[in-house]
Structure 1
Amino acid sequence: MSTDFQRLLFDISEALVTDELVSLKFLSLDYIAARKLEAIQEPKAFFEALQEKGMIEAGNLSFLKELLYRIGRIDLLEAQLGSSRKEMERELQIPGRAQVSAYRCLLFQLSEDITKDELKSFKFLLGKELPKCRLNPKTTMLDVFIEMEKKGILGEDDLSILKSLCAKINISLLKKIEEYEFGEEEMLITGEQRGSRGGPEAHVRWLASSVASDSPGSWNESSQLEAYKMTSRPRGVCLILNNHSFAKAREAVPEPKNMKDRNGTNVDAAALRRVFSKLHFTIAEYNDLTAEEIRKTVNIYRCEDHKNKDCFVCCILSHGKKGIIYGVDGQEVPIQELTTSFTGQNCRSLAGKPKVFFVQACQGDACQQGVTVETDAGEEDYSVETDAKFQLDCIPAEADFLLGMATLQDYVSYRSPREGTWYIQALCQHLEYSCPRGEDILTILTAVNQEVSRKSCKPNAEKQMPQPSFTLRKKLIFPVN
């Protein structure tokens, strides 16, 4: 074995501290028996064990590079191995290149995020499951995970107890597990074997970004919020459900209240078509649907294969009330029924991808009163109507949803018969202006809130305030190019 290679391993081992050795041993548990790793007390012995297993050798340092990347020792990665963070990120994006399993990376990532007080809580809650001698003050979170695996209460196929503990201690830890499980779910969808190195694209991206952010030698780029992939052409479907004529509802006995035709809604639909076409979405518009036709149309797109798409958008323009939109026949459709159709369980090809809903409908009958402030704005067009009568629990309790509401719960929203609705027009204008500048959707919706809130309707200066709610895990940006 070359002297240069041995010198390289020696220099790296000299730069590692005890806690980093513990991390390296944990990440290598799939290759070296736990009993053997327990006996290793210094990095040189660890590297010898890896050489015995054929995991590192003079002509192949890929596993060593990945280990240093995972623990955040980018300085050693660059100075000793001639690699870099970006190079490793590109490398680990390639299916099959990651040698540390996603499951092992998940546990390591959780251990890095858990505070000292949270570690005490884990030990307390596991007091009856694990030997007390293994839960002493020196026991780390990685030690706890190893003991849980030994007791058979934690494994790649069994995260249930860990999830229940995280739900009690820190819900953000639970969300990290669920994010990992999205990758597992996509593996099952694409037919890959659980536990395989790499996995489908979403899981590979998760693996590539699983690196300690505050370890020695790391830098702040890893703490930057990741953006959803948005490179497919087309990006996805933009489904527009546009209800204008409510003659069928007015013919009903008893006649539903406030079921006038929604004059001006076609102006909104045209603006949505224009903007989302520029954002590279396929437009699917349906006009004047009954409640049953709305359900059938949504089911068509629930069953569609979105595998090669990055996103799904649904715009609903109709009359409504709290938690409800109306078909043109005056029959009700719960908003939650529509959004839940696109959860990962009900629409597997959209698992882990953003699902965006914009709803132009009132949430009640109340008018929102404004507060008098000075303004340099000119006079508004006050020839407006309401879409009388939706609530925040309409969004599924699952990641990757965004629900943009025209107004606050219990309040009306306004529509100009000539110029369209305050909300949809502001939304389209800001999307058209801000997307080419790379702004994310939540920044854009904040600007929409500001613009709509400045408008007022005479004679009593009624106001309107839109309200987004979301379970997005990443930045959502719609590139124009």
Structure 2
Amino acid sequence: MELPRPRLLAVSEELGEAELAALKFLSLEHVPMRKLEAIQRAQDFFEALQEKGMIEAGNLSFVKELLYRIGRIDLLVAQLGSSQEEMERELQIPGRAKCPPLLSSRYLLFQLSEDITEDELKSFKFLLGKELPKCRLYHKTTMLDVFIEMEKKGILGEDNLSILKNLCEAINYSLLKRIEEYELNLFGEEEMLIAEEQRGSRGGPEGHARWLASSVAPDAPGSWNESSQLEAYKMTSQPRGVCLILNNHNFAKAREAVPEPKNMKDRNGTDVDAAALSSVFSKLHFTVREYRDLTAEEIRKTVNIYRCEDHKDKDCFVCCILSHGKKGIIYGVDGQEVPIQELTTSFTGQNCHSLAGKPKVFFVQACQGEACQKGVFIETDSGEQDSSVETDARFQLNCIPAEADFLLGMATLQDYVSYRSAKEGTWYIQALCQHLEYSCPRGEDILTILTAVNQEVSRKSCKPNAEKQMPQPSFTLRKKLIFPVT
């Protein structure tokens, strides 16, 4: 019986570049890595599977399983005559699965790669810059490519997830929790407790972003973790630097525009945020300069003033943006757009020489979309709804420059709204200010503080549908960033 080449060709023509990469990654146990790396077309991938006996006449079970694993149920149904329900039944049969089993590190890596954002990918590349060849970390490198290079270097494997856990710990704690859940299912609670005790020297969950752990071959030449303790940025100048606050409240100009932009309400409560930011950064020895109700062009001109300012006697620059927004965008009070990346890129070493090598910190309180994050609704005894909670929606996100020494704290994930109380300010800025004021005197670094902010904001919900919000920090910091109060 001949191979059903027309059906395989039809499948090939529907697969994108990222999907082909996922299929190759899930097939590494059956086809050598060197051969897979040379494959650029899905047709060639299927030919390689045939050569290895993974596709045979009358037997496309492996192809079906691959399509099921990457979520292309449409192709499974239309081209291969199967269904999601059929695959779920078949994969429960012992020995039936040929892809990495659901409880395997390779399938875990594939799932992680699906959820890691572009900003987080940049952070992985940056932190692995010394460990992996730079030629492998160019801008088109995907997260699956990074995992493969880590495997080649021997720093990632079925029984070697420690370095990946350290990276996730510093970049996105929720990724670390997923790895720990996988290990818990695989090894059981007792072995996990032993592992947690071994990790305890880094301060437990509260200090997870404080260090990159010393398990990255600390004595190996060229290791990116040559010391168990990261160096801190200099933070001794008086003042430390400028804290620029761009506070947009009154959007009457936007509402007067023709056509009138949607959802351009006045941002009641934003002055509460601005006052909190001014108070906390004054205590942290920054010169606070606030600008209110700027149009898009006025935002650009204001940012340009500080780009051109001489910061040579300062150790840091902070910019806090409070406005309406959408994905990768903030709005002027005239309803015109300003890309966040345009603002952050203004302060790269090339564009602002006096800040080269110094931390540039941006906090953005604005929606990044219209979607609402759903949570589990827990009824309270009050029986009341907080009608004062609003969103900053007008409706990554490559907002942060690839250059080192940047930190971007976003109030919410891309595509989602963020919430603001007309009386109490926004969830994100209020939590940020409270944790800065509490933790900076204790010597906590900014990544640890932002993780605590993530935890606090994620616990809040907006009734009646229990909508949630999750902030998103991203960074290219090279050192610990600590704001001393003395």
Query: Could you say if the C-alpha distance between residues 286 and 318 of structure 1 is closer, same or farther in structure 2, counting changes exceeding 3 Å?
Result: same
1:375–1:472 distance in 2 versus 1, CA, 3 Å: farther
Measured at CA, do residues 443 and 375 of structure 1 come closer, stay the same or move farther in structure 2, by a change above 3 Å?
A: farther
User: CA offsets, 1:87-120, max 9 Å, x none?
Assistant: xxxxxxxxxxxxxxxxxxxxxxxxxxxxxxxxxx
**What is residue 479 of structure 2 aligned with on the other side?**
474
Counterparts of 1:306 and 1:377 in 2: how far apart (Å)?
Answer: 51
Q: Normalised by the size of structure 1, how large is the TM-score?
A: 0.54
Q: Is the contact made by 1:322 and 1:389 (CA closer than 8 Å) also made in structure 2?
A: no
> Residues 378 and 405 from structure 1, CA distance in 2 versus in 1: closer, same or farther, beyond 3 angstroms?
farther
Asked if 1:362 corresponds to 2:367, the answer is: yes
Q: Report the equivalent of 1:427.
A: 432
Greater displacement, 333-342 / 369-378: 369-378
Distance 2:226 2:367 in 1: 42
- What corresponds to 1:417 in structure 2? 422
- The 5 A counterparts of 1:397-476 are 397-476=402-481
Which position in structure 2 is the counterpart of 1:168? 135
Residues 369/213 of structure 1: CA separation in 2 closer, same or farther (3 Å cut): closer
* Deviation (angstroms), 1:459: 1.1
Q: Distance in 2 between matches of 1:459 and 1:169?
A: 48
Residue of structure 2 in register with 1:128 after alignment: none
How big is the shift at 1:215?
A: 8.5
How far did residue 213 of structure 1 move?
Answer: 6.5
How far apart are the structure 2 equivalents of 1:436 and 1:472? 21
Structure 1 residues 373 and 443, CA gap change in structure 2 (3 angstroms)? farther
| Cα deviation digits, residues 13-36 of structure 1 (max 9, x gap) | xxxxxxxxxxxxxxxxxxxxxxxx
1:307 aligns with 2:312: yes
TM-fit CA distance, 1:277: 0.1
Q: State the number of aligned residues.
A: 279
Q: Deviations over 1:385-436 (max 9, x none)?
A: 0000493311001111000000111110000000000000000000000000
**Structure 1 position 222, deviation (Å):** 3.9
> 2:264–2:394: 8 Å Cα contact kept in structure 1?
no
Question: Shift of the alpha carbon at 1:441?
Answer: 0.4
Structure 2 residue 299 is matched with structure 1 residue 332: no
Instruction: Name the residue aligned to 1:395.
Output: 400
Q: Residues 357 and 331 from structure 1, CA distance in 2 versus in 1: closer, same or farther, beyond 3 angstroms?
A: same
Instruction: Quickly say closer, same or farther: Cα 1:381–1:305, change in 2 above 3 A.
Output: same
| Identity %, equivalent residues | 88
Letter in 2 for 1:431: L
SS in 2 for 1:402: strand
Matched letter for residue 427 of structure 1? L
Shift of the 375–247 alpha-carbon distance from structure 1 to 2, 3 Å rule, reads closer
Alignment of 1:70-469 (within 5 A): 166-168=133-135, 214=219, 222-372=227-377, 381=386, 383-389=388-394, 391-469=396-474
Instruction: Give the 3-state SS of the residue equivalent to 1:449 in structure 2.
Output: helix
The structure-2 alpha-carbon separation of the partners of 1:235 and 1:297, relative to structure 1 and needing over 3 Å to count, comes to: same
Q: Provide Cα deviations, 1:351-402, integer angstroms capped at 9, x if missing partner.
A: 0100000000000001110035799999885520000049331100111100
> How big is the shift at 1:224?
1.2
Deviation, 1:166, is: 3.4
Q: Distance in 2 between matches of 1:322 and 1:440?
A: 28
Moved over 6 A (4+): 170-173, 373-380
Please tell me the root mean square deviation across aligned C-alpha atoms, in Å: 3.0
1:156-194 alpha-carbon deviations (Å, 9 max, x no partner): xxxxxx99x931257899xxxxxxxxxxxxxxxxxxxxx
Contact 1:389 1:412 in 2 (8 A): no
Q: 1:480 to 1:399 in 2, by over 3 A?
A: same
Amino acid at match of 2:418: S
1:335–1:390 CA contact under 8 A, matched in 2: no
Q: Deviations over 1:35-66 (max 9, x none)?
A: xxxxxxxxxxxxxxxxxxxxxxxxxxxxxxxx
SS of corresponding position for 2:290 = strand
Alignment partner of 1:230: what SS?
A: coil
Query: Is contact 2:370–2:395 with CA below 8 Å preserved after alignment?
Result: no
Letter in 2 for 1:285: E
- The separation in 1 between residues aligned to 2:362 and 2:457, in whole angstroms, is 18
| Contact 2:390–2:419 under 8 Å retained in 1 | yes
CA contact under 8 A between 2:386 and 2:463: conserved in structure 1? Answer: no
Change (3 A) 1:473 1:379: farther
Aligned residue identity for 1:286:
Y
Contact 2:296 2:338 in 1 (8 A): yes
SS in 1 for 2:431: helix
Partner of 2:198 in structure 1? none
Runs of at least 5 residues in structure 1 that lack an aligned partner in the other structure: 1-161, 174-211
Output the CA distance in 2 between the equivalents of 1:298 and 1:166: 36
Q: Is the 8 A contact 1:240 1:316 kept in 2?
A: yes
Does the Cα contact within 8 Å between 2:367 and 2:416 map onto a contact in 1?
yes
